[in-house]
Structure 1
Amino acid sequence: MNAMNRTKVPIPVFLLIGIIAISFSAIFVRWSDAPAAVTAMYRLLMTNVLMLPFLWNYRSEITSIRLRDWLRTAASGIALGLHFLFWMDSLRFTTVASSTAILTLEPIFVLVGAFLFYGQKTSRAAVMAMCVAIVGAVFIGWGDFQFSGAALKGDFLSLIGTVAVALHMLWGKGLRERISAFVYSFFVFLFAGLVLAITNVITGTSFTAYPAKEWGVFLLLAIIPTVFGHYVFNWLLKYMKASSVSMTVLGEPLGASILAYFLLGEKITSIQLLAGCLLLVGVGLFLRSNEKQ
């Protein structure tokens, strides 16, 4: 029985929901004036609070998880926490288009890691489609790339965050074969939030000195890009290859750039729109080749 039959709702619907949801992440971060580590921490811990009432239903599964899987879940959570820390901080120094365009390197890292760790092979056609999509994503942010000053710092932070989320995705693929999406997501978000909380304690950052607007942004980040974005992608890891889930994330630069145009007043050029179409074509061809079932 394939994934389509098991889930009743077509997987492309979940992919679209996830892409739209994570596209709002950069917008909400730019609306916030709180430190990146604080914003990321509350984003994750508030998600845990939203999920907590349902955790009791999974108590038998939780008690059966092996120590090795707990350690891998913790590692995946730490990687996710580092991703949020570095990527969200990058938006303080560079544009939404530039920062999210660098995230397009994620599927390359995941593709190589999936081959090394899981022996997953990818066809030549899928690799070529990936290259097409990445070229499109890079051109979305090309006009904003700068090679000096604060913008370069922001791009470098985004790159570190991209490596971290690729590791999170690879660990998650193996764990999702044995752990449900809810349990995996809950504890990954918890471990990630705790890493960020420790970071804030070490740096002496305040946990409470923020106006009501900031708490609203924290909650929006928890509900939209985390629950409807990252949680959905964690669920999809059981039914799709890690490289395929990573490829769909390439839709974020296009979605974030369009949202930034309407909500932040950032410019979007005709070249960026054409590049977005190229990106979508590449992603579609990759999924068709890589997920033949």
Structure 2
Amino acid sequence: MTESELNLMNRSTKGITTYELLYVAGIVAISFSSIFIKWSQADVAVIAMYRLYLTNLLLLPFAWKYRRELFALTRKQWLMLGASGLMLGLHFLLWMASLRLTTVASSTVILTLEPVLVMLGSYWIYKTKANSAMLAGMGIAIIGSVMIGAGDFSLSGDALAGDILSFFGTVAVAAHMLIGKGLRDSVGAFPYNFWVFLFAATALAVYNVAVGNPFTGYSGQEWGLFLLLAIVPTLFGHYLFNWLLKYMNATAVSMSVLGEPVISSLLAWVLLKEALTGYQLVAGVFILSGVWLFIRRGQDRAELASKAASNGSAV
């Protein structure tokens, strides 16, 4: 870890670390995703594909700077990047499809299983343990998420199919996060994101060819939504969280999904004119409180690095 990274890690504003500020910014960014998807009329696989291809197009001007890192990868790293990209593409396909079949609340509340799956996977693969405060924060946040979605679950028809798609999309993104955690210890943020987004987009392109989805003929408004999805929730959301995987444990980063229904509900209230009840606001307080408690206790690597820096300066 470089000296500049340690300085960034130790920098804080009134007790709030830079990583925590970036984490909150990422939650706000990903919360726009469901809004843009609701506005679009294109097939969800096309939306996801262009979202990722356009993200890579925006990253392309910086590729020359990282040209050596982009190709200085082992066979195992290439395979893991491909697997991570495939899981991300599958997550986008399944979760975005669920939004067309069930309510945003129902689809999002199922996503709250992500940190649970990631925590179990982190313990099994990386031997990462969660302390009591982290578990309490997760529990509080999940209670709030269940409160938001409790009235929207359905056990029949399209809604049930949407819930099932959301669940398998959650499993896919948990796998993506766990693979990414292993890769980010040896692969830089830019090459990791660039290749993962490219592999995910290409997997979705193959799917679109297979099912016969058109690649052209979309309106200027649709292309604008594809671009907004690339910039806001992907670059300022997923890219940022993948970068944070090196400095926060995977479970802490995956907890971002619990903040999404709160911000998304507020955005839907403002932009889509959807109703927002006092009950939902109380649930939102639960979620945000739980997420905040968790991330304050979830930065194991950052804390260790900070202690190491302190010990080094004291010698």
Calculate the TM-score normalised by the size of structure 1. 0.96
**Aligned residue identity for 1:65:** L
**Aligned residue identity for 1:179:** V
Where does 1:103-252 land on structure 2 (aligned, <5 Å)? 103-252=111-260
SS of the residue corresponding to residue 143 of structure 1 reads helix
Paired residues, number: 293
**C-alpha separation between the residues in 1 aligned to 2:296 and 2:241?**
18
**C-alpha separation between the residues in 1 aligned to 2:237 and 2:40?**
19
Preserved CA contact (<8 Å) 1:3 1:239: no
- Gaps of at least 5 residues in structure 1 are none
Preserved CA contact (<8 Å) 1:141 1:272: no
In the superposition, relative to structure 1, how do residues 55 and 68 fare at CA in structure 2: closer, same or farther (>3 Å)? same
Hey, what does 1:64 align to over in structure 2? 72
Deviation readout 1:124-177 (Å, 9 max, x if unpaired): 332122111111112122222222121111111111111100000000011111
Percent identical residues:
55
**C-alpha separation between the residues in 2 aligned to 1:31 and 1:38?**
14
In the superposition, relative to structure 1, how do residues 67 and 287 fare at CA in structure 2: closer, same or farther (>3 Å)? same
In the superposition, relative to structure 1, how do residues 245 and 156 fare at CA in structure 2: closer, same or farther (>3 Å)? same
Preserved CA contact (<8 Å) 1:96 1:260: no
**C-alpha separation between the residues in 2 aligned to 1:142 and 1:260?**
18
**C-alpha separation between the residues in 2 aligned to 1:264 and 1:90?**
19
Residue 3 of structure 1: how far off its partner (Å): 6.2
In the superposition, relative to structure 1, how do residues 203 and 210 fare at CA in structure 2: closer, same or farther (>3 Å)? same
Preserved CA contact (<8 Å) 1:98 1:144: yes
**C-alpha separation between the residues in 1 aligned to 2:103 and 2:71?**
44
**Aligned residue identity for 2:148:** I
Calculate the TM-score normalised by the size of structure 2. 0.90
Pick from 266, 274, 277 the counterpart of residue 266 of structure 1: 274
**C-alpha separation between the residues in 1 aligned to 2:157 and 2:8?**
50
**C-alpha separation between the residues in 2 aligned to 1:182 and 1:30?**
29
- Gaps of at least 5 residues in structure 2 are 13-17, 304-315
**Aligned residue identity for 1:212:** G
Hey, what does 2:88 align to over in structure 1? 80
CA RMSD of aligned residues (A): 1.5
Preserved CA contact (<8 Å) 2:248 2:298: no
In the superposition, relative to structure 1, how do residues 72 and 136 fare at CA in structure 2: closer, same or farther (>3 Å)? same
Preserved CA contact (<8 Å) 2:123 2:129: yes
**Aligned residue identity for 2:136:** M
Preserved CA contact (<8 Å) 1:129 1:282: yes
